[in-house]
Amino acid sequence: MNSKVMRVGIIGGTGIYDFGDSAIKIETGYGNVDVFYSKKGEIETFFLPRHGRGHGIPPHKINYKANIQALKNCKVERIIALSTVGSMRKEIKPGSIFIPSDFIDFTKRKATFFDDDVIHVDMSQPFCEEVRHAIIKSAKKIVEVFEGVYLATEGPRLETKAEIMMFSKFAHVVGMTLVPEVILAREKGICYASLCLVSNMAAGLQKELPADEIVSIYSKKKDMMLKIIKNAIKEIPKERKCGCGEAAIKGKIG
C-alpha cells in the first residue's frame, strides 16, 4: 500500500525567495501565482515568495487571496509562513525566533473569501497546533523560542512610538503580513502556522528603524531559518487530526 504524500506550502518572507526545484504558474480566480515545487520522498513542498522573488510587492499590495488559493489548488494541507517582526518586549531581542499563538488585526484589508456566504469561521485557536508544535520542536533544538501575540498593522509605514506603547500592552511583536493570510488559510481548510524572525526593536525601543536592518538580520539568520523549516516539515504528522479542514463547514449558517 502506498503511503499518502504530504503536501506542505512554504510562504517566504523577507530574505528567503528560493526554496524549490521547478517553477509552476498556478492560475486562480484572483490572479496567477508562481510557485516553486520540489519533492523528497513522501513530502512535496510548494514554495511561494510572498513579496515576489525580487521583493517588489509591498505588504499592503500583496495578492493574499491569490496566494492562498494557489496553494489550495496545489492541494496543500499545511502552510508554514515565514516573516520578520518588530519586538515590543525588551526580552525579545533582534535575531530571536518568535512563534505566534494568537493575533490582533489592525489592518484595513478585506480578509475573507466569503463575500456571498454566511460563514463565520472560528478563530479561537487561529494557528494549527499540529504545525505550531512541529515548528516549536524544530526551533528549540537550535535556539531559544518565544511565543505570544502578533499584532498586524497595515503598512507600509512603520508604527509610531505612541502606537507601539499602546500595542505593547496587548501583544509581543508587530508585523504586516500575518493578516489576512492566517484567516484565508483557515477559510480554505488549510493548517497554518507562522515562524517569525525578530528583525528589530519597535519604535521607541531603539533610536531609529532603518529598513536595511531587516534585510541584514535575515542574511545572518537565513541558514538557521531554512534548517528550522526543513526539520519542522519532518515533524508534522502525516495524518491531520487538528480539525482545521472543517473550519468553514462548521462556520456555515443556514
Average pLDDT, the chain: 91
Hey, which of 9-23, 121-135, 212-226 has the most confident mean pLDDT? 121-135
Q: Give burial (CB, 10 Å; 0-12/13-18/19+) of 177.
A: buried
The grid coordinates of residue 61 equal 499590495
Q: What is the pTM of this model?
A: 0.93
- pLDDT, tens digit (0-9, with 9 covering 90-100), for 13-42: 766 656 667 889 999 999 999 999 999 999
Q: Which helix (H) or strand (E) holds 197?
A: strand 191-201
Domain limits, the chain: 6-250
Any idea which fold 6-250 has? Rossmann fold (3.40.50)
The pLDDT score that the predictor gives to residue 15 is: 60
The grid coordinates of residue 64 equal 493574499
The pLDDT score that the predictor gives to residue 14 is: 64
The pLDDT score that the predictor gives to residue 3 is: 60
238 vs 56, 78, 140, CA distance in Å? 35, 10, 21
What does the alpha-carbon distance between residue 214 and residue 244 come to, in Å, rounded to a whole number?
32
Average pLDDT over residues 200-220: 81
| pLDDT value at 61 more than 80 | yes
Average pLDDT over residues 202-224: 81
What does the alpha-carbon distance between residue 13 and residue 168 come to, in Å, rounded to a whole number?
23
Beta bridge partners of 145: 97
- Per-residue confidence band for 207, with pLDDT thresholds at 50, 70 and 90: confident
Between 70 and 51, where is the model more confident? Answer: 70
The pLDDT score that the predictor gives to residue 2 is: 47
Other beta carbons less than 10 A from residue 43's beta carbon: 16
The grid coordinates of residue 215 equal 534585510
Between 193 and 252, where is the model more confident? Answer: 193
The pLDDT score that the predictor gives to residue 53 is: 75
